[in-house]
Amino acid sequence: MSIEQADLSMVGDVARTQDVELRAPFALRCGAALVDYTVVAGIAAFATLLARMFGGGSRTAGATVMEFGFIAAAVVVLADLFVLPGLTGRTLGKWVTGLRIERRDGEPVGFLRALVRHTIGYLVSLLTLGLGFLLAAFNREGRALHDLLAGTVVVRASARVRPR
């Protein structure tokens, strides 16, 4: 093996090592999902609690509070799964856990990929009875089924500065 070939093979090893270091650990991805779902469930639970306090029935203040709470939860879901990832590459949970969604080439994820990832990708992952999500634990790149479908990867946000 020539020196040039040895140098090139070392570059490949360094690149693979960097990819492993950049990859988001499965446990952190689960933590991010837990934060995301806790925020949404918390809003819905708080609205339900307020509705119970204000009384039941379809024409009461309680029903209005319940409707407002579910609308607020829907707005938070839309912002968390589409707007924030499209703008920053992060959901609330990924921000808390220090993770970021990006394209495989390191570029920002954008709104369209965020939409595909969090709608079609999640639906297909759910249809596999959750195995699509577990794929991230066993995939060398740490990519779940929704990442494979959208062409995205979840990385540690502090591990690499995105080129501008």
Q: What is the number of structural domains in the chain? A: 1
162: in domain: no
Structure pTM? 0.79
Range list of β-strands (E), 40-151: 99-103
Would residue 163 count as lying in a domain?
no
Q: Give the chain's count of helices (H) and strands (E).
A: 9, 2
Q: How far apart (Å, rounded) are the C-alpha atoms in residues 106 and 108?
A: 7
> How far apart (Å, rounded) are the C-alpha atoms in residues 76 and 17?
37
DSSP 120: I
- Assigned domain for 161 exists: no
Interval 26-73: pLDDT, tens: 999 999 999 999 999 999 888 888 887 877 666 677 788 888 888 988
CA dihedral 80, 92, 157, 161 (to 10 degrees): 60
